[in-house]
Structure 1
Amino acid sequence: MLLSSAASSPADLLPKIIMGVDPGTQIMGYAVIEVTGSRVAVLRYDVIDMKKLGTNHALKLKRIFERMLELIDEFLPDELAIEAPFFGVNVQSMLKLGRAQGVAIAACLSRQIPYVEYAPTKVKQAVTGSGSASKEQVAKMLRQTLKLPPIEEAPKFLDATDALAVAMCHHYQKGNNVKAGTKSWDKFLTDNPDRMASASGTKKTPAKAKS
């Protein structure tokens, strides 16, 4: 999908993998996109479902950390974009959401992946043009923008599309807000020779998007 006609810099020609996360203590949405210049490919969007773990918050945090590491090792993201907890919920819920967010961030930092936090209104504004858009409106706009196949709008899939929205919000920012581990261009090429090969014509096969 072509998002912009602006001239690309050498760095833009290298594929960048962005992971988006919508934190939750029952269901956590995640999404992975690959950006090459102005083109965006959705590699996967889905959820980490923790409802079967009951009320044991420690087990849920452990599940988040382990699943995040699995996803990181599978997709090798360059950056993490994560949504900040919504301040409209009660204090106990805020504490639990903050822990879930922190564990997801810690998993990425353990793999030297930089992260950016975005407010929910910022994400909605970036994707739909309205900071008060509903989950359904966000999902609809993403399907139109990214040409995604229709999906059942069950709550868990809306958490997945919310995570996809976070990743797209970060893409629209052009990575300008990245922190905690940003690498220089020369060091990036040294550490990632396969990415240069990919940019020069060897394209990797993306994983199938959730449908």
Structure 2
Amino acid sequence: MRVFGVDPGLTRCGFGVVDGGPGRTVRPVAVDVIRTPADEDLSRRLLQLSDAVEKWLDDHRPQVVAVERVFSQHNVRTAMGTAQAGGIVALAAARRDLPVVFHTPSEVKAAVTGSGRADKAQVTAMVTKVLGLKTAPKPADAADALALAICHLWRAPMKSRLDEARARAEQLARTHRAKLAEARERMTR
């Protein structure tokens, strides 16, 4: 499975593409950070980001897009820019009928390092190790994008099994309720 991981941001937006193989094997495909000038008009910055996302989706043809979920940030302006960038990515993926999955920062950290409280240096070190890179991806936004893609690859099978189990349990519960209702109805006749 090929995953496009995105660490959204307006000033710096991390892009990372990885391929997943059997077990937990992961191979790096591409990584970069897209930058837009902070002094430029918001609409122009969003357009630049949109163009970059479209090009990456066309060039790398991922099967799924993993985006960092905007999580409680104290700076409202930063949170808004992050949300807008994430929306641009989700829209571009939706145009191609690609699934988009949002992961919280703590989910990503836990998946990649084993601790939801890992710092950026720990995430970068583990991404470098897991992908067998000679040098650490820089800046941190690049490593974070790769970490998002890795997180999705490693969490998706488990989430899929849980979703299937939940659906089976709901179906069994519906069947059981229907049989109970049928039995009650027979008893009242």
TM-score class, shorter: 0.7 to 0.9
Amino acid aligned to 2:77: Q
Report the Cα distance in structure 2 between the residues aligned to 1:20 and 1:152, rounded to whole angstroms.
Answer: 14
Instruction: Tell me the residue number matched to 2:156.
Output: 174
1:135-189, Cα deviation, whole Å (9 max, x unpaired): 1110011112221111475xxx2100000000011011135658xxxxxxxxxxx
Gaps of 5+ in 2: 161-189
Instruction: Tell me the residue number matched to 1:45.
Output: 31
Q: 1:75–1:91: structure 2 CA closer, same or farther, 3 Å change rule?
A: same
- When the two chains are superposed, the root-mean-square deviation of aligned CA atoms in Å is 1.7
Larger Rg: 2
What displacement does 1:89 show?
A: 2.7
Contact 2:137–2:143 (Cα < 8 Å) also in 1: no
Contact 1:138–1:165 (Cα < 8 Å) also in 2: yes
Amino acid aligned to 1:84: R
Instruction: Tell me the residue number matched to 1:163.
Output: 145
Q: 1:41–1:149: structure 2 CA closer, same or farther, 3 Å change rule?
A: same
Q: 1:130–1:113: structure 2 CA closer, same or farther, 3 Å change rule?
A: same
TM-score norm. by structure 2 comes to: 0.78
Contact 1:33–1:41 (Cα < 8 Å) also in 2: yes
Report the Cα distance in structure 2 between the residues aligned to 1:80 and 1:56, rounded to whole angstroms.
Answer: 27
Query: Where in structure 2 are the equivalents of 1:1-211 lying within 5 Å?
Result: 16-38=1-23, 39-51=25-37, 54-151=39-136, 153=138, 157-175=139-157
Contact 1:116–1:177 (Cα < 8 Å) also in 2: no
Structure that is richer in helix per residue? 2
Contact 1:20–1:31 (Cα < 8 Å) also in 2: yes
Aligned-partner SS, 2:150 = helix
Contact 1:81–1:116 (Cα < 8 Å) also in 2: yes
